[in-house]
Every structure is written in structure tokens, then in C-alpha cells.
Amino acid sequence: MRIVKTTGELAALIAELQGAAYLALDTEFMRDQTYWPKLCLMQVATPGTAAIIDPLDGNLDLSPFYKLIAAPNIVKVFHAARQDIEIFYHQGGVIPDPLFDTQIAAMVCGFGDAASYELLVRKLANVEIDKTARFTDWSHRPLTSRQLEYALSDVTHLCTVYEKLVRQLEKTGRASWVEEEIAALKRSDLYELDPANAWKRLKPRTNNKRFLAMLMALAEWREREAQARDVPRNRVLKDEALMEIAAHPPDDAAGLERIRAIPKGFAASRSGKALKDAIEQGRSAAPPKDIEVPYVRHGREPAPAAVDLLKTLLRLRANDIGVAPRLIANSEDIERLAAGDGDVAALQGWRADVFGKDALALRAGKLAIALEGGRAKIVKLKD
């Protein structure tokens, strides 16, 4: 097993990989005790080469590797790429491109919602992965041979999975569907952790401007604290505490202590004093103007029957084309469609062709769902 621990060893590996058509990639990291993910291992494979890169053991400059994963002539293959990309973006300043995500491709190829890597390896590579090492503390050294073999298997079998999915996409003509989904993964704003935008993670379901102004100040304070101390957000203060304070801002330290979600003695701590400053900032902030709260439905509530019909239509169309329903539209999309909202992803691109246009026709009374032989079917109505 090839384990790269020095800059010289990494340079030799990169020289071998430069001419590859694609790289299968994965990372192992820890972040349950920290805000920033701690990169522990990187795995890379091509049909002829496989290696583990160990950034914790040895003197290793990773900048040549980050340059490699930006190379335009090599496809970078991941399974469920978002967390891996986040690490590369923050530690190397790069988003891998061109990019291929086998989880997205699997949804297009009919393997269901969020197909696991183990499922794809079993179905496409005919291999059962030994999962006994999946809960490893990857920051611990030394790692056992079984742990290292498990880590490497995350990319060696990925080569087979990738090649078979690509052939299936070529056969069905749906490669462009996957490209459209992957383009969204390459947006840098997905990975930028701007404290000013931290309130969006809390998904407030109100347009109340005073509440939002307070929540923005509180969430920004917590995000800055978590980043500076390198601890998880909820280690600073839990989400429910921020929401309760935003709804009912306390006037003093005693009022802060009475909030159930606030730890005892917190108000008198350094963080407690900083929180009180954030509360005052939120209290004095001007109400936000023209702010878009994506978790608040605008307009009328959808009729439950309309939601049920659209969900049935989605299942039928997804089954017809062999695509995971959730890839076409999620529950929020369905509710927005039922309420008459036209700004829905399901009405754009390939989704419109396979579902969106029919959804509009159903809503307009030009399409129906009927039973035939005990099974639901789509019926186009005559004008």
C-alpha cells in the first residue's frame, strides 16, 4: 500500500497522475470537536495507481496536489462531493474542476435517493465493503492496515463505479442532466462561511423584520465566536437559544439567565458579555429591507389535495424515466408548485421536460391522474 508522507513522495505521485483521464478522490476528516474540519487523509486512485496522502504524518506541502485537482484536463470523481470540496476550498483555495459526483449520477441512473457508496460498489463493482473501520478516529496515529485498506477502498472501487455510470449516462443521453446538477456544486458561495449569512442556517419561518434583525446579529456573533475558538456552533450556544432570544430579547443579565436554553452562569462569562453586546446591536439595528427569507411561503397556502396529486405525478414520472424523485423535486418544491409559485427549480432545465410541464398542466386542469387496472396513470385531457 502506497502512503505519501513527504513533499518528495507527493511530487512523484503527482507526476504519475498528470496524464490520467480522471482521478477518484476521497478525504477522511474530523470535525465533531471543531468548527473547521481537520483533514486527516486524502485518497486518490486511477485504474493504474492508488495512494493515500497523509497530511498529519510527515513534512508535506499540499499545494502541488491542490494545483493538480484544478487541472482542466483531468476529471475529478467523488461520491457525495460537497464536504470534500468544502475542505479543498478552505484549505487549498480550490474547487475541483472538471467534477463528477457519483451520488448525483446514481440518482439520474435510477439507484434511488442519495444512494450510498456501499450500494453502488455492491451493484456496479460486485464487491462487499468491510465496514468495520468506518467509525475510525482518522486523526489517530498510527492507523492500522485494516483502517488504511478501508480508506483506500473508498477510491479504488470508485473507479469502476464511475466508468459504469458514465457508460449508462451515454446510453441514456442524460449526461447533461448530471452536468447541470454538478454545476451547482461548483459555486463558491456554497462553501463561503460568511458570519453575516449565518442566520440562514437557522431557517427562520417568519418575515418579522425586528425578529430577523435580532437573529442576524445573534447568529453572526455566534459564528465569529465559533470560528475564532474553532469549536462547533452549538458548543458556543444552541440554535434554540438564538431563536428564543431573537423572539424575546432579554433586557438584562438576569433575563438572559432565565432563558431555558442558556447554560447556568453563561451571562456572567466572557461569551455572555459578548452575547449581550450582540443583543444590543440587534435591538438597535435597522430592520432589514427587501430581504429574501427562503423558508417563508409567499402567497396562499397550497390545497392538500393539490400537493397529493403533484406528489403522485412526481412518483409516476420519476418511475417512468428511472430517476430518483427527490432529484426532480423535493417536498418544498411540490408545495410551492401547488400554491402557484413559478420560481421553482422543477420548472427549469431538464426537470421541466420530465416533470415541470406536466405539473403545470395538472394544475391547469389539462392533465389528470386516473386508475387503470388498479394502477395510477397520467391522462392528457382534451381541450
Q: What is the pLDDT of residue 302?
A: 81
Q: Which residues in the chain come in under a pLDDT of 50?
A: none
Note whether 226 and 201 are within 8 A (CB): no
Q: For domain 304-380, is the CATH number 3.30.160? A: no
Q: Catalogue the E-assigned strands of the chain.
A: 3-4, 22-30, 38-46, 49-53, 75-78, 99-101, 367-372, 375-380
Peptide bond into 47 cis (omega under 30): no
Which residue in the block uniquely carries the three cell numbers 432570544?
245
Note whether 161 and 120 are within 8 A (CB): yes
Q: What is the pTM of this model?
A: 0.87
Q: What is the pLDDT of residue 205?
A: 83
Q: What is the pLDDT of residue 322?
A: 92
Q: What is the pLDDT of residue 293?
A: 73
Q: Grid coordinates in use for 170? A: 451515454
Q: What is the pLDDT of residue 72?
A: 96
Task: Describe the strand order of the beta sheet including 49-53 as a list of residue ranges.
Answer: 3-4, 49-53, 38-46, 22-30, 75-78, 99-101
Can you give the residue ranges of every domain in the chain? Answer: 3-190, 195-284, 304-380
Identical topology for domains 195-284 and 304-380: yes
- Between CA 236 and CA 247 the distance in angstroms is 19
For 43-64, the pLDDT digits (tens) are 999 999 999 999 997 679 999 9
Nearest to 28 by CA among 39, 16, 14: 39
Peptide bond into 55 cis (omega under 30): no
Query: In Å, what is the CA distance from 98 to each residue of 73, 122, 183?
Result: 8, 26, 10
Options 1.10.150.80, 1.10.357.10, 1.10.3720.10, 3.40.190.290; which CATH number does 195-284 get?
A: 1.10.150.80
The CATH number of the structural domain formed by 3-190 is 3.30.420.10
Q: What is the pLDDT of residue 374?
A: 84
Note whether 10 and 61 are within 8 A (CB): yes
